[in-house]
Amino acid sequence: MIIFATSDKGGTGRSVTSCNVAYRRAMQGSDVCYLDFDFGSPTAGAIFGVEAAGQGTATGGGLHEYLAGRTAEVDQLDVWGQSELGGPRARPLGAGRLTLLPGDSGGGEFPVDATMARRCSDLFLRLDEEFELTLVDLSAGRSYATELVLRATADPALAEKTARWLVFHRWTRQHIVAAAGLVFGPHGILETGMDRGHRRRELEDTIRFVRTAVLEPDSPQLAVLRAEQSVWLQSYNTDLQKLAAKLRLGRSVMLGSIPLDPVLQWREQIIVEDDISTTRIANEETGQAFEDLAKRLTDDSAWEGL
Amino acid sequence: MAAPKATAVPRAPKAREPAEELDMLVGEVRTTLLQNSHRVGATTVAALLDIVPGGRVRSATRPVAHAFSPDVRVGVHCPLATISGTRADGAGTAVARASVTGGTVLQASTRARLTRAAGERRLPWSHYVANPGIIEVAGRTDADDLAAGFLTTQTRASLDLGAVSSRLLSRVQRRPGIDRVTSLRARRTQLRFAVTWRSSDSAVLPQLLGAQRRISDFPSVPTGSAESFHRNSEPAASVSPVSVEFTIQDETLRTLRLRLGRCDPSDVVAACEDLALHDWLLSTVESLLDNSRIGVDSAQEVVRRFRPVIDHLLHLWMPGARVTEELAEVWAALERRPGFSREWSSLVGRIRDQLALAGLESSSSLSALARVAGVCQAGAEEDSVGA
Ligand SMILES: Nc1ncnc2c1ncn2[C@@H]1O[C@H](COP(=O)(O)OP(=O)(O)OP(=O)(O)O)[C@@H](O)[C@H]1O
Ligand SMILES: [Mg+2]
């Protein structure tokens, strides 16, 4: 299964959430690969703590170079072996593989052509031979990367492959409007997808939304609020819910909601069990939200047509 | 990335005679699972492999269904890796073919014979096209240097026959006739080989005494470098013209260095494909077993997980089936160390154990039910039947 992660605005938490979800999923036993398609600013290496690819790789074997036809094969970095995530540079017992296909340092966006789309679909097919989950972090907004994968997934050779989309947005008025625009608006995912040969209805059924850095009004973090603030927050939250529903981002198409976590506020990182139960710097709810989202990626009941 | 220059090498190798004769075979086999929900029949396989207009797909049905495509030619003009760092350039063509075994396993192998170029200058393409599968080498290097370089120090710029094989795999995987639904996830493996020939009198040369073998163990924990060990000096009586060095470089890359008596290169390629197939079977089944949570989940659950192995892979084990008499010694060496068939039977044994356990589990849960229903006697009988 291929999962695309996108967002309209930058800095929504798309990469941090996707990396955490990939990590959780691998811990749950799946073989997972993570593709950094954010060609302008590849950050996945840094989030996973893989030094060799902190800001993309410099070997000339990253995804950008592969898609441009300058290398026949993409570097595959074993995250367990090259970071401290699973303990001392080893795969934790019972975990699946966690493999990073990095971007290139100094890469950038580039126009898409048919050969590139073909290389892209070849890569997806090839990774699907061995990984249960291929997670692709696209760049923000209406990017070439998005166009590229819409072309690649329209390739008839991928007809039997399941591809799903996660659209990340923060829980604010502007983010909600922007996310709706990215999916339903002009030159959005659906429109571009149709231009590339997808059927609108079917494509729409493969899209779900993920809310990031959310402060629930009943969160203990908000216990310090004055009564007036609480009341206002409650009612504004209700307004946002109405807005989301109106713009077709309502609860029925929401796959997950990740609470605001102080750790992530300050540092882009994977939240591991130790951060929750030993050093207790991260909140349990955040870990749980990643865990649930990781499971829901392949839970068909969460992806039924509406 | 610039090709290594002779001048950049601190330890200059001993001066090499440029005129020294060169005749060697290099290649790389990539192996994977054909992407289809079930075993593919002979007619479909033939259509899948029909990738060269006017070419002929060859096939055999025994002992296991096996078919291979006509050769595809690929033009090559690039530096060749050498272990000494000596500069060498290759120009010519490599040939690649795809094959399907048991309607299930897909392989692509690319090979080329390396010969000495007549001069330093590149000739017109027509010259190379007339000699398919031959790459002419310009540079002051020899076969051992090229073999070691090819096996272990390839760079992005140097000759990469594996990339050709990989592209061919992808090409077949996207052809019509297969549904690309997979019942089993398996990694692609790569077997890189380099072969030189021994002239009949070479067995008396001192460095060739003792049929040297360097064959690695299967590494239990992946380490940065290849795990391999040296086994030297067989008793003088068993000095054979064959030397086999099989090394597991990492989780997916294996290298094979062969020094052989005179034999047909195409037989060698077939033997390497056969070896790659069995190595892939071993790696695939082993990693599936390792990840099937034996001892954690119920045996029935475990068996459900490796069911596809039983259905699709177990019967494909037939080592040496496509290896000619002359090359039987290569397989024999690999059977001694690392002991492919030994390893395989232990894997199959583990599968059998789980099957037996699963049988026990289901009959004991049946008998538990029976006991609850108050028919202990019947339950006990069932137990013995089930076990
Ligand atoms: N749940 C969260 N709680 C608090 N902060 C978060 C949360 N998720 C992400 N962040 C923070 O938000 C910032 C942006 O996150 P991230 O880099 O993942 O966004 P992005 O959408 O990938 O951005 P870009 O478009 O630049 O790639 C980071 O500092 C990150 O640590
Ligand atoms: Mg990002």
User: Which chain A residues have a beta carbon less than 8 Å from that of B183?
Assistant: none
In chain A, domain spans: 2-215+253-298
ipTM: 0.91
CA A276 to chain centre: 22
Residues A129, B186: C-beta atoms closer than 8 Å: yes
The set of residues, in sequence order, having a beta carbon less than 8 Å from that of B377 and lying 6+ positions away, is none
pTM of the model: 0.88
User: Which chain B residues have a beta carbon less than 8 Å from that of A90?
Assistant: 221
Same domain, B336 and B239: no
Same domain, B123 and B186: yes
Same domain, B312 and B253: no
Same domain, B238 and B374: no
What spacing in Å lies between the alpha carbon of A16 and ligand 1's midpoint?
6
Tell me the C-alpha distance between A31 and B41, whole Å.
Answer: 30
Q: Give the pLDDT band (50/70/90) at residue B182.
A: confident
Domain A2-215+253-298: assigned CATH number:
3.40.50.300
Same domain, B259 and B281: no
Same domain, B194 and B318: no
Checking if the pLDDT of A275 tops 70, the result is: yes
The whole-number average pLDDT for the span A232-246 is 95
Give the tens place of pLDDT for each residue, B55-80.
999 999 988 999 999 999 999 999 99
Strands A163-170, A2-7: pairing is parallel
The set of residues, in sequence order, having a beta carbon less than 8 Å from that of A193 and lying 6+ positions away, is A150, A154, A200, A203
Residue B7, token pair as written in the block:
């001048």
Give the tens place of pLDDT for each residue, A5-22.
999 999 999 999 999 999
Quickly tell me which residue has 């166009």 as its tokens.
A147
Cis preceding linkage at B265, omega within 30: no
Residues A125, B185: C-beta atoms closer than 8 Å: no
| A95-109, A183-197, B292-306 — most confident range | A183-197
The set of residues, in sequence order, having a beta carbon less than 8 Å from that of B20 and lying 6+ positions away, is B116, B142
What spacing in Å lies between the alpha carbon of B144 and ligand 2's midpoint?
48
Spell out a b/e string for B98-112, using b for 16 or more CB atoms within 10 Å of the CB, else e: bbbbbbbbbbbbbbb
Share of chain A above pLDDT 90, in %: 88
CB B180 within 8 A of CB B35: yes
Q: Which of A19-23, B219-223, B268-272 has the lowest mean pLDDT?
A: B219-223
Domain-embedded: residue B357 = yes
pLDDT of the residue at B222? 34
Domain-embedded: residue B358 = yes
Question: B-contacting residues of A 112-141, CB under 8 Å?
Answer: 121-122, 125-126, 128-132
Residues A125, B33: C-beta atoms closer than 8 Å: no
Q: Which of A139-153, A210-224, B170-184, B199-213 has the lowest mean pLDDT?
A: B199-213
The CA distance from B1 to the nearest CA of chain A, in Å, is 8
Checking if the pLDDT of B21 tops 50, the result is: yes
Same domain, B183 and B244: yes
Checking if the pLDDT of A37 tops 60, the result is: yes
Q: Give the pLDDT band (50/70/90) at residue B365.
A: low
What spacing in Å lies between the alpha carbon of A196 and ligand 2's midpoint?
25
Whether B33 contacts chain A with CB within 8 A? yes
- The residue range of the domain holding B178 is 23-264
